[in-house]
Chains A and B, each alone.
Chain A
């Protein structure tokens, strides 16, 4: 139960940071995705089920900030959570570099929902967006994940 409370607290904080704070301190327009980090944390530690529910909750809370596209981020979070759970058994999940690389890939997947769903981007403009913002944002997310994932994991789930 404590784990769940801690995880929900993390979700709450991540969604809030992502929606309210992080956009104003984004370097060169690159935005790290804290929500994906939390989904990856849950999915890598507990598998598909936890990843999916965490993704759904994260996505729903993000949707509350954008009611006009309600359901979109819930859908995206669900997919990301499922992919995390699927990848859990296929990578060396204890390795920090694997976790960071997976987080970067998940961030890119989540960006697809943001770009095509919320921002209404077109397929032809995606390469430009990918090069200018997508790749940099994913790398930044991976770097931050590498820095904070072990600590978050220890705090949420106890010792490894």
Chain B
């Protein structure tokens, strides 16, 4: 009866504590099977009514967390995807460069682009060769897309390459189909043009333009681009040929520097046609009328002949 007396418990705090601790100890020493069954039973009975709304709340929060995590994962995956695409593109570029290396008889040194202007037709690139030895100024830089430019500023580790888009760059070029010579350059760094091609030259849109090798700087046969548009101005002496360059700096991260080797033979040139100028035009032949026929006849009247008789007085001998 003492145990159910509230006043007793209120007065004897220590007794309450000891009783509670004893109950705790009894709970602790219960067989594990009983603990599990008892605990599960209590939870299932007492907390079941609240479990459904709680599970909804849990589901809501776990969905929110999953959403956050998935967003993060999506961002990471997107970055990985970009990185893999970049690696694939680089791999493709390397494969083409290897193909180029095996095709030619040049001594090539690989270099990667480490800096350039953000412009699509940047006049200069900064490259870092794997082996900078033997690389000097004016050495041509090539990629799988053709001629890139030439080394203009060689340093111990980094080198500057003036691209074919440099406004000061001039490349001796040749139209592959018709072997017409010209000068490849940019028009103030914007349009690429093939300059100094005479008006009557055989150049068509879509023709491939290569380096000719006659400039003594770049070897022959390197791709420069294709003829995009031709405009003829009769008042000028040369054609206005716009070239679509094959070099795409946005896709060029690796290149080769030609440090030596054997250049391909120079192309034979097309027979030069006469330029369209007054001085070289064929002269017109002036047709003169036939000369009038002259009727020359001997005179009919006797011509007085001088008297050959002796003169009077004779000779006196």
Return 5 A-B CB contacts under 8 Å, by A number. A52-B20, A61-B46, A64-B40, A64-B43, A75-B24
10 further A-B pairs in the complex, CB-CB below 8 A; given A16-B47, A75-B24: A52-B16, A53-B16, A63-B39, A65-B43, A71-B24, A72-B24, A75-B25, A75-B28, A81-B20, A82-B17
Flag whether B13 is at the interface (Cβ < 8 A): yes
Could you tell me if B17 and A52 are in contact, using CB atoms closer than 8 angstroms? yes
Q: In whole angstroms, how far apart are the Cα atoms of A65 and B46 in the complex?
A: 11
- Listed in ascending order, the chain A residues whose CB lies under 8 Å from chain B are 12-13, 15-16, 19-21, 24-25, 47-49, 52-53, 55-56, 59-61, 63-68, 70-72, 74-75, 78, 81-82, 85-86
- Whether B54 and A20, one on each chain, are in contact in the complex, defined by CB atoms closer than 8 angstroms, is yes
Interface 9-residue window, one of B29-37, B117-125, B208-216, B295-303? B29-37
Q: Is the CB of A53 within 8 A of B20?
A: yes
Contacts of B24 in A (CB 8 A): 56, 59, 71-72, 74-75, 78
Q: Which 8 pairs, one residue from A and one from B, show the smallest C-beta to C-beta distance?
A: A71-B28, A67-B39, A71-B27, A48-B13, A64-B39, A75-B24, A74-B24, A78-B20
Any A CB within 8 A of the CB of B38: yes
| Interface presence of B217 (CB below 8 A) | no
**Chain A residues, CB < 8 A from B36:** 67-68
B28 A49 Cβ-Cβ under 8 A = no
Whether B42 and A20, one on each chain, are in contact in the complex, defined by CB atoms closer than 8 angstroms, is no
What's the dominant secondary structure at chain B's contact region? helix
CA distance A90 to B39 in the complex (A): 37
B residues bordering A, Cβ < 8 Å? 9-10, 13, 16-17, 20-21, 23-30, 32, 35-36, 38-40, 42-43, 46-47, 50-51, 54, 57-58, 61-62, 65
Known: A61-B46, A67-B39, A71-B27. A48 touches B54 (CB 8 A): no
CB nearest neighbor in A for B13: A48
Min C-beta distance of B2 to chain A, whole Å: 14
B51 lies within 8 A of A20 (CB): yes
Most chain A CB atoms below 10 A, which of B9, B29, B47: B47
- Contact between chains at B21 and A70 (CB < 8 Å): no
From B20, B40, B50, contact of A67 by CB (8 A) = B40
A72 CA / B36 CA spacing, docked (Å):
14
A20 touches B58 (CB 8 A): yes
Interchain CA distance A52-B9 in the complex, whole Å: 11
Interchain CA distance A53-B43 in the complex, whole Å:
19
A49 to B16, Cβ gap below 8 A? Answer: yes
Chain B residues with Cβ below 8 Å from A24 are 57-58, 61-62, 65
B149 to chain A, nearest CB (A): 56
Docked pose: A84 CA to B283 CA in angstroms: 126
- The residue in chain A whose Cβ has the minimal distance to the Cβ of B11 is A49
- Could you tell me if A12 and B46 are in contact, using CB atoms closer than 8 angstroms? yes
User: B58, A63: Cβ atoms under 8 Å?
Assistant: no
A60 to B29, CA, bound (A): 14
Contact (Cβ within 8 A) A66 B28: no
Contact B21 A61 (CB under 8 A): no
Closest partner residue, chain A, to B45 (CB atom): A64
B52 CB to nearest chain A CB (Å): 11
The CA of A53 and the CA of B15, in the complex, are separated in Å by: 12
A residues in contact with B32, CB < 8 Å: 67-68
Q: Who on chain A is nearest to B40 by CB? A: A67
- Is there an interface contact between B13 and A82, defined as CB atoms closer than 8 Å? yes
Q: How far is the CA of A85 from the CA of B36 in the complex (A)?
A: 32
Within the complex, the shortest CB–CB distance from A60 to chain B, in Å, comes to: 7
Whole-angstrom distance between the Cβ of B66 and the nearest chain A Cβ: 12
Minimal Cβ-Cβ distance residue in A for B47: A16
CB pair B43–A21 under 8 Å, yes or no, is: no
Task: Please determine whether B38 and A67 come into contact, CB atoms closer than 8 angstroms.
Answer: yes
Closest to A57 in B: B20
Q: Is the CB of B39 within 8 A of A21?
A: no
